[in-house]
Amino acid sequence: MTARAALIPGAAYGLSGFGLGFAFGTVRTLVVAPLVGPFAAVAMETPLMLAACAPLARLFVRRWAICMPIPALTMGLAAFGALLLCEVLMALILGQSIRAWLSGLVLPEGMLGLAGQITFALLPLVFVLVARARS
């Protein structure tokens, strides 16, 4: 598979991750954060979110037969781009400016969330590298 062909599974993975994140984020924002604060809520959500996304990454890597590191990295970068695009669009729909959305990324909880999103983007590469090491 070429790196360019990995854009389609990357977009699908990113949209799937956004869907999961929307569900997790709704619970985090409405239920957990008022009880423990925004940083603790994101700290609790992030490992759960990554655990939920890992099988998705593996599924998309296998489904599209991605077995080389560059296409896997391309898939992850496409997923990251799709995820951020969805987040920006959601912020705009909810009446938040792009500047305000970006400002949230420099808060401790925003940085932790961004670190989780970067990890999410690297999961396809991790699965490909692990599969290659085993063979």
pLDDT at position 1: 66
Whether 64 has a pLDDT exceeding 70, the answer reads: yes
pLDDT at position 3 over 80: no
Spatial neighbors of 78 by CB under 8 A, at least 6 apart, are 6, 7, 9, 10, 11, 13, 14
The average pLDDT across 57-70 equals 96
CA atoms of 59 and 82, how far apart (whole Å): 18
pLDDT by residue (tens digit) across 73-120?
999 999 999 999 999 999 999 999 999 999 999 999 999 999 999 999
The pLDDT of 19-26, averaged and rounded, is 96
Tokens 């080389």 locate to 68
Give the separation between CA 70 and CA 93, rounded to whole angstroms: 34
> Using CA atoms, how far apart are residues 106 and 10, in angstroms rounded to an integer?
26
Q: Judge contact between 25 and 104, C-beta under 8 A.
A: no
